[in-house]
């Protein structure tokens, strides 16, 4: 299974750790905070090519994973979730 994680804060970090420890491929990680993005990526073996600086950027691409985990801040959940659904992702 391949997942995209939207958000690399507290929730995103927990999900990334869980997935990396349980053989789930993290195909994309998005966060506008570059320092936080790289910290989570480095801690979980996520390659640079899989990093994005916003949820909009990653969801503009053609579908390339099975599911999206929405770990954005609460006020962004609706809009980013609806865009992921439009792209055909499981949430």
62 located within any domain: yes
pTM of the model: 0.96
Query: Among residues 84, 82, 40, which one has the least CA distance to residue 59?
Result: 84
The alpha carbon dihedral of 64, 70, 72, 77 has a sign of: positive
pLDDT tens digits, 4-57: 999 999 999 999 999 999 999 999 999 999 999 999 999 999 999 999 999 999
Number of domains in the chain: 1
The alpha carbon dihedral of 57, 60, 62, 64 has a sign of: positive
21 located within any domain: yes
24 located within any domain: yes
pLDDT tens digits, 47-91: 999 999 999 999 999 999 999 999 999 999 999 999 999 999 999
91 located within any domain: no
58 located within any domain: yes
CATH number of the domain enclosing 62: 3.40.50.720
22 located within any domain: yes
Count, in order, helices (H) and strands (E) of the chain.
4, 4
Provide the residue range defining the domain that includes 37: 2-86
């Amino acid at each position: 299974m391949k997942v995209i994680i939207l958000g690399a804060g507290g929730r995103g970090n927990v999900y990334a750790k869980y997935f990396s420890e349980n053989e789930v491929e993290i195909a994309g990680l998005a966060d506008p905070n570059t320092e936080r993005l790289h910290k989570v990526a480095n801690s979980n073996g996520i390659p640079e090519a899989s990093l994005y600086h916003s949820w909009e950027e990653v969801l503009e691409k053609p579908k390339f994973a099975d599911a999206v985990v929405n770990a954005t801040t609460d006020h962004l959940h609706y809009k980013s979730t609806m865009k992921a659904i439009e792209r055909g992702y499981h949430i």
